[in-house]
Amino acid sequence: MEIRILGAHNCESPDTRLISILIDQALVIDAGSITSSLPFSAQRGLKAIFLTHQHFDHIRDLATLGLNLYAQRTVELYALESVLDVVSSYLFSGEIYLDFRNRPTPEKPTFKVCPLEPYKEVVIQGYAVLPLPVNHGVSAVGYQITSQDKKSFFFSGDTGRNTPTLWEVVSAQLLIIEVTLPNSYRTLAIESGHLTPQLLKEELNELKGVRSSLPPVVTVHMNPELEGEIRGEVEQISRELGAKITLGYEGMAIVL
């Protein structure tokens, strides 16, 4: 399984893109930087898109991708039903852009919306996909994705601290998890449902409690202007936990 981080940040600039994670050039989690990262040919190769939640930085490329794929193919769009409802009501309302759920025709739309249920694993394009609820203020899930040859990773999406229930279920060989803010922004991070390096450490200690050792961890959704501070603090918790924790970046490829 090849995982490519297309966007690793929470703010966009020519050097930093919003969250999208590509799997084997066929599946993508979150639509923050699909069209800004992939050539048209690669966009046409996508089979399914998974949304972690409804925030704009995770959904916005559905509009641009929708037009790029228009009348060429249908892509499956998976998310919690409540997330699909919000995306349908606003982004696909037909008022700010096209309703890609029904265009070009309801029989052959650009996006076929497919609701997922929390904790219910489904097999999509040969991958076992397990949506697991995370704490982010709005309905949100992370995804544990397992390939046919039993390689697996868990991507948290946006999340604050979780109950241990989450980590009792996660069994992946790699964690991709958000760290949005440095430790000095702890209060804001807690209020907005995000992690700092210290909060990540607390989260990983929960996981350590149920597993003998921690898998490698890659962080994403960093605030670019605070990334230097975040990097130093991530290096520190990496040493303290004896775990391999690295900051993700645009174009980072990981082969499991």
Binding mask 158-177 for Zn ion (x = CB under 5 A): x-------------------
CB 85 within 8 A of CB 57: no
* 60 scored as a contact of Zn ion (CB under 5 A): no
Nearer to Zn ion, 57 or 229 (CB): 57
Kindly state the smallest distance separating residue 192's Cβ from Zn ion, in Å. 8
Residues 6 or more apart whose Cβ sits within 8 Å of residue 211: 167
Task: Please state the closest distance from residue 56 (CB atom) to Zn ion, in A.
Answer: 8
Q: How far is the CB of 32 from Zn ion (least distance, A)?
A: 7
Is residue 57 within the footprint of Zn ion (CB under 5 A)?
A: yes
For residues 66 and 102, the answer to whether their CB atoms sit within 8 Å is no
55 makes contact with Zn ion (CB under 5 A): yes
- 219 is written with which tokens? 């962080």
Torsion-angle region of 97 (φ positive above 0: left; ψ -120 to 50: alpha; else: beta)? beta
Beta strands in the chain (DSSP E): 2-7, 20-23, 27-29, 48-50, 75-80, 111-116, 122-124, 127-133, 141-146, 152-155, 175-178, 217-220, 245-247, 252-255
**Smallest distance, Zn ion to C-beta of residue 253, A:** 22
Q: Which of residues 130-159 bind Zn ion (CB under 5 A)?
A: 158
Nearest CB to Zn ion, comparing residues 23 and 195? 195
Closest contact distance (angstroms) between CB of 118 and Zn ion is 17
Binding site for Zn ion (CB under 5 A): 55, 57, 158
